[in-house]
Chain A
Amino acid sequence: SQQGEEDPQALSIQEGENATMNCSYKTSINNLQWYRQNSGRGLVHLILIRSNEREKHSGRLRVTLDTSKKSSSLLITASRAADTASYFCAPIGDSGYSTLTFGKGTMLLVSP
């Protein structure tokens, strides 16, 4: 399994602004997933993007994937205070499914 590295480690914005988080990984992937964790709670799956996809949308979320740069980004548009959480990316190797391994994540704080 491989671990993604999220950047920045922390992000503080105002409600209504957009939040962009980045993820880099090292080896080729089958897919990449983004998860959210509210403080003290379990991880919640947000979105999965496959290696042959470049962009995917889900509500206010937009994920991009650049396999040539081995990077992905998660954009949250029109952020709300309820989006305050830690966000993690989890790359899945192209050899088949492997266990998700999580990095330190990006801690997003959205102020009212």
Chain B
Amino acid sequence: EPEVTQTPSHQVTQMGQEVILRCVPISNHLYFYWYRQILGQKVEFLVSFYNNEISEKSEIFDDQFSVERPDGSNFTLKIRSTKLEDSAMYFCASRPGQGAAGNTIYFGEGSWLTVV
């Protein structure tokens, strides 16, 4: 079964460093998302992306964050200058947007980011 894949699975970075988290959404999906989950807390929405632009973003998604779909298969989340509080599991997700399962969101296994 097709799945959303994320790399790296775990990254440790120094405070102030830039981090890029990579995702390969399911082929033919039209909508892409990033969520994050701080340890012990709920899953929080960051940003949604459709038709090569951000369609919605939360208050968490400030100027330190950016997303990009550089080619037909990858979807990346960049954190420009990481802070300690950015330590979390980051989930990429995608949705078909059409067809019977158009509203179902499929999540990757996450990238665990630790900022030290």
Contact = CB atoms under 8 A, between A and B. Distances in A.
Q: How large is the interface on B (under 10, 10 to 19, 20 to 34, 35 or more residues)?
A: 20 to 34
Contact residues of B: prevailing secondary structure: strand
A39 B107 CA distance: 14
A60 interface: no
B109 to A, nearest CB: 5
B109 A42 contact: yes
A105 B42 contact: yes
Nearest to B39: A40
A99 B45 contact: yes
Instruction: Determine which residue in A1, A31, A43, A98 has the highest number of CB atoms from chain B within 10 A of its CB, and name it.
Output: A43
Interface string B92-116: 0100010000011111111000000
B88 to A, nearest CB: 12
Interface string B68-83: 0000000000000000
Interface string A85-112: 0001000100001111111110000000
B106 A45 contact: yes
A41 B33 contact: no
Contacts of B42: 102-105
A13 interface: no
A44 interface: yes
